[in-house]
Amino acid sequence: MKQLAIILAAPFTEQNFQRMGIPFFSQYFEVVVLQCMKWVTDNHVEDCDSSLDYSFIKNVESESDFENKISSLNAKYVIDYVGVTDKTRKIQDILHRYNIELVVQKTGTIPYRKKDALSNLVYAFFDPRYYFRLFRNFIKARFLKVEMLLPPDITLLAGSKSLDGWNAEAKEKIWIHSNDYEAYLKLESLEIKEDKNKPRYSVFLDEYLPYHSDFKLLSIKNPVNNPEAYYSQLDTIFSLYEMQTGQEVVIAAHPASSYTDKGLVFRGRRIEYGKTASLVRSADFVFAHMSTSVSFAVLYKKPLLFLTNNKLSKSIIGWNVETFARELNTPMLNMNHFSEIELKAIFENPVVDKTFYQKYTNDYIKTELVEETSQWEPFLRYLKEKNQC
């Protein structure tokens, strides 16, 4: 059986196992995952869910180790989950030496604020390490003659906004739908009937902000450096909602989160894992920051309230929260200063702007021309046309 390789530089979890399409591709290929985190990043976090035992994962320690493992593959394609780093050109050169094509996927694009020169200065003020990274990248490009990236061989695109400058140069562009739309289709195929007697509720799309490992992995300063204050702010908002509506706020826990040793950070509220899509489907209202799972609220036409605070608003996270709210024409609330009258009005008159929601769907989830099949079916069809499976 031919092999299909996936390269990764992040902790391998059950969610990644599903989102990378490994169960789907395993029907046609021997899937091999090259875990490149130790080579690509200087910040090491636990690189695998300790509860999982996947023999197809091969750890890459260095550039030479990567080339050795690539040379032993019986594969023509490598799907990239590393992203653009200072190792990307090296990866491209090694793959091309062995006539292997790099497949770049953009299946989880979200709204983000593009930083102009002034924004860079402001962000650097609040996070000096960001300024250092900008300076380091300038030195590399100006004096060290870092080689420019080659165009991707193939790019998998979900939503029109996923076609960015680098992807636009790809030799082959294949349109698919997003990871969240795949989960949406699977949930809809179950034809679950709503229990009208079940108590109504709303949901918070948790992002595990105070403790998320991505901050360390990406060398980004975490703006939520006071977990108690952050969770206290959330509790104030949720309590006001619960008192006004009589509904509970359920926590859709981030897949990377672990609250068993964190105490009652959500003040005893119900925390659910692995049920985000179904929770949003039946919810009356959704609270969020900048989670990709906002897609479920869009697909199910649920009213949203985006939450920020003073510290978040001075970071890239807060800027992206603002962008989400603007893209969906939905309210945003700063948890440090708001009036209960303002909040009551939002809860009493929830608004879903269907025009903005539809545009978001086309921009970030799927274009109208993408068929309602498995997320990976268009790519598989391409491979079959090339006689690769």
- 102 in the same domain as 203: no
Query: Across residues 199-217, what is the average pLDDT?
Result: 88
CA-to-CA distance for 333 and 325, rounded, in angstroms?
10
Specify the CATH number for the domain of residue 259: 3.40.50.2000
- 333 in the same domain as 194: yes
Query: Across residues 244-268, what is the average pLDDT?
Result: 94
- 261 in the same domain as 188: yes
Short-list 242, 293, 289, 243, CA closest to 270: 242
Quick: pLDDT tens for 175-198: 999 999 999 999 999 877 777 778
Query: Across residues 130-152, what is the average pLDDT?
Result: 58
For residue 333, pLDDT beyond 60? yes
pLDDT for the residue 46: 54
- 296 in the same domain as 238: yes
CA-to-CA distance for 153 and 80, rounded, in angstroms?
11
Task: Please check whether residue 298 lies inside any domain of the structure.
Answer: yes
Quick: pLDDT tens for 93-126: 999 999 999 999 999 899 987 655 545 444 444 4
Assign residue 309 a region (left: φ > 0; alpha: ψ between -120 and 50; beta: otherwise).
beta
Place of tokens 């925390």: 271
Quick: pLDDT tens for 306-328: 999 999 999 889 999 999 999 99
CA-to-CA distance for 314 and 292, rounded, in angstroms?
21
More confident residue, 375 or 112: 375
Short-list 380, 387, 385, CA closest to 24: 380
For residue 17, pLDDT beyond 70? yes
- 247 in the same domain as 153: no
pLDDT for the residue 217: 66
Q: Where does 206-289 show beta strands of DSSP type E?
A: 248-252, 271-272, 286-288
- The edge-to-edge listing of strands for the beta sheet with 101-106 is 57-59, 30-35, 3-8, 75-81, 101-106, 154-157, 172-175
- 266 in the same domain as 157: no
CA-to-CA distance for 19 and 149, rounded, in angstroms?
26
Place of tokens 């023999």: 55
More confident residue, 207 or 51: 207
- Whether the Cβ atoms of residue 164 and residue 363 lie closer than 8 Å to each other: no
- Helices marked H in 72-166: 88-97, 117-126, 128-142
For residue 132, pLDDT beyond 80? no
CA-to-CA distance for 40 and 373, rounded, in angstroms?
34
- Whether the Cβ atoms of residue 308 and residue 357 lie closer than 8 Å to each other: no
Specify the CATH number for the domain of residue 168: 3.40.50.11190
- 226 in the same domain as 312: yes
- 375 in the same domain as 291: no
Query: Across residues 69-88, what is the average pLDDT?
Result: 94
pLDDT for the residue 16: 87
Q: What angle do CA 362, 363, 365 make, to 5 degrees?
A: 65
Any residues with CB less than 8 A from the CB of 260 and at least 6 apart, and which? none
- 197 in the same domain as 81: no
Share of the chain above pLDDT 70, in %: 87
Question: From the centroid of its chain, how far is CA 34?
Answer: 20
- 35 in the same domain as 76: yes
Pairing of strands 101-106, 154-157: parallel
- Whether the Cβ atoms of residue 80 and residue 70 lie closer than 8 Å to each other: no
Residue 185, φ and ψ in degrees, nearest 5:
-65, -40
Task: Please check whether residue 136 lies inside any domain of the structure.
Answer: no
3-class SS of residue 282:
helix
Quick: pLDDT tens for 258-303: 999 998 999 999 999 999 999 999 999 999 999 999 999 999 999 9
pLDDT for the residue 52: 58
Task: Please check whether residue 152 lies inside any domain of the structure.
Answer: yes
Pairing of strands 304-308, 286-288: parallel
For residue 223, pLDDT beyond 50? yes
Task: Please check whether residue 134 lies inside any domain of the structure.
Answer: no
Mean pLDDT, the chain, integer: 88
Task: Please check whether residue 119 lies inside any domain of the structure.
Answer: no
- 328 in the same domain as 375: no
- Whether the Cβ atoms of residue 190 and residue 271 lie closer than 8 Å to each other: no
- 156 in the same domain as 106: yes
pLDDT for the residue 126: 44
CA-to-CA distance for 186 and 197, rounded, in angstroms?
25
Tokens of 284: 């009356």
Q: Which structural domain range is residue 329 located in? A: 182-356
pLDDT for the residue 144: 42
Task: Please check whether residue 133 lies inside any domain of the structure.
Answer: no
Query: Across residues 15-22, what is the average pLDDT?
Result: 90
Task: Please check whether residue 169 lies inside any domain of the structure.
Answer: yes
Task: Please check whether residue 130 lies inside any domain of the structure.
Answer: no
Which pLDDT band, with edges at 50, 70 and 90, does 8 fall under? very high
Which pLDDT band, with edges at 50, 70 and 90, does 136 fall under? low
**How many domains would you assign to the chain?**
2
